[in-house]
Structure 1
Amino acid sequence: MAGLSATGALSPRTVVAHTSGAHGLVVLGEVNGLALHPAMTFTGTDADLARLPGIAWGVTARDRVFAARLVTELGGIPEWIAEQARPTYHAALAHGANHLVTLVNEAADLLRAAGVQRPEVVLSPLLHAALDNALAMGDAALTGPVSRGDAGTVRKHLDHLTPESAPAYLALARRTAERAVAAGRLRPQDAILLLDVLSTVGSPA
């Protein structure tokens, strides 16, 4: 930005915007800038544009009125993000969206290993319901063996997972157990055996 300013390419009235999620205004230096990040996944297909109307945009701006008008004209909803909170904001989106793709594909691979020919038919209604419930109910949407403290089933899962899938399952099961206990979905006394399995499996000998 300093180079462009020095060449005169940027006038005092020029507004510069970037769409990085992790960065705010610091990377733009002293120019009149906006950080406008569309909270949407883009795969380079024709479906991308159709997903834009109505989505949130993570906005960091000195001129909030101008930024809000611009985002609104793009069909979006401004969500104001403080400069120092941009990395946390972006980590949340990457954790939720990018890792979701990996998680879904891991589940699909396991179903194929179990002999299911069309994993998407099995997963689609289940995962859509789980996502809807999670967004509406938070941790109250937790179901399954971890939320029940069913250590035996979890141990059986771990015994049958591939070496590639087991570490991710284990990490998510541990975090699920922590959240289930904190939310009151799983009583601490009912979690003892489960937590023992989760703390010993995958630990160094």
Structure 2
Amino acid sequence: MPSLRVIGPGRAGGALEVALGAAGWQVLPARRRGDDVTTAASGVDLLVVATPDALIDEVAAAVAPEPETVVVHLAGSRGLDVLGAHPRRGALHPLVALPDAALGARRLAAGAWFAVAGDPPGALALVERAAADLGGRSFRVDDDARAAYHAAAAIASNHLVALLGQVERVGAGAGVPLAAYLDLVRATVDNVAELGPAGALTGPAARGDWATIERHRAALAPDELEAYDAMVRAVRRLVDARDDDASRP
């Protein structure tokens, strides 16, 4: 089995260490903040730079290149260029939330999706093997598409959490707890998986029931209206696209 070393074994790097170690990879001692990383790529198949995104360039530049070692980062929005002069470079971004190393390792080994990249082809093959050895599924994202890919990931996760924060606030005003809405959320996600976003649309904005929408707006606090109105516009955009598709011969 291949060998692995992580620079920066925090939430993501630590999770990857644990998960690949459990999958049979040889995990070499990590390099932590303040350690000399000059020789970190020596004697290892895959070196993972798991630092904050803004530090990847600096840390990768401090590592002496090795001709056979694949150096990868875990950033969703960064390309291979941040890895500088290393001859075998790659990217392995888990499309899953990793709140801590232990829980993250379990999620990585539970069939996660991974955005991968690599150059030359042999480097990409090792990155894809890492995802496959975790039981995961991978898709390739070129450097010029990584920011858009990661923006979609942030919308899917961070923006959804913020939206549910609004649900919690507005529901509390009616005396209804967040938990009462979560089955609706889960069923909606299942509907999207089965029918696609446009097919899963329901509710007043989807059917153009503007009287109900105005009652909603009148009931909302002023500081909730901006987000509500933005989502009504987003629903209507999806409806318009659906209707345009349906009208084509």
Alignment TM class, shorter chain as reference: 0.7 to 0.9
Structure 2 residue runs of 5 or longer lacking an equivalent are 1-55
Give the whole-Å Cα distance in 2 for the aligned partners of 1:179 and 1:15. 42
Shift of 1:46: 4.4
C-alpha contact 1:37 1:59 (8 A) present in aligned 2? yes
SS at match of 1:51: helix
Of the candidates 144, 160, 167, which is equivalent to residue 226 of structure 2? 167
Task: Give, in whole Å, the separation in 2 of the partners of 1:25 and 1:47.
Answer: 28
Q: Quick one: distance in 2 between partners of 1:171 and 1:8?
A: 46
| Runs of 4 or more above 4 Å deviation | 1-8
Tell me which moved more, 157-166 or 167-176: 157-166
- Which residue does 1:184 correspond to in 2? 243
Which residue of structure 1 aligns with residue 26 of structure 2? none
1:59 partner letter: V
Taking a change above 3 Å as real, the CA distance of residues 123 and 35 of structure 1, as seen in their structure-2 partners, is: same
Between 1:158-167 and 1:143-152, the stretch displaced more is 158-167
Would the aligned equivalents of 2:57 and 2:82 in 1 still touch at CA under 8 Å? no
Equivalent of 1:30 in 85, 88, 91: 85
Matched, 1:107 2:162: no
Q: Give the SS at the match of 2:129.
A: helix
- Count how many residue pairs are aligned between Structure 1 and Structure 2: 184
Could you say which residue in structure 2 is the equivalent of 1:193?
Answer: none
Superposition pairs for residues 37-52 of structure 1, below 5 Å? 37-44=93-100, 46-52=102-108
Cα shift readout 1:10-35 (whole Å, capped 9, x = no counterpart): 32122211100001201112311111
The C-alpha deviation readout for 1:136-192, integer Å capped at 9, x for no partner, is 21211100001110001111111221222210110110111121122129x9xxxxx
Letter in 1 for 2:93: H
Aligned-residue Cα RMSD (Å) equals: 2.3
Q: Which moved more, 1:57-66 or 1:170-179?
A: 57-66
Corresponding position of 1:147 = 206
The CA distance in 2 between the partners of 1:130 and 1:91, in whole Å, is 22
Name the counterpart of 1:85.
Answer: 145
Structure 2 residue 113 is the aligned partner of structure 1 residue 56:
yes
Identity fraction in percent: 34
Measured after TM superposition, the shift of residue 4 of structure 1 is 7.3
Q: What is the CA–CA distance in structure 2 between the aligned matches of 1:178 and 1:2, rounded to whole Å? A: 39
How far apart are the structure 1 equivalents of 2:115 and 2:185?
A: 26
1:155/1:71 Cα in 2 relative to 1: closer, same or farther (>3 Å)? same
1:157 aligns with 2:216: yes
Higher mean C-alpha deviation, range 80-89 or range 3-12:
3-12
Do the aligned residues in 2 keep the contact of 1:58 with 1:79 (CA within 8 Å)?
Answer: yes
Report the alpha carbon displacement of residue 45 of structure 1 after superposing the two structures with TM. 7.1
For structure 1, the residue ranges without an aligned partner over 5 or more in a row are 188-205
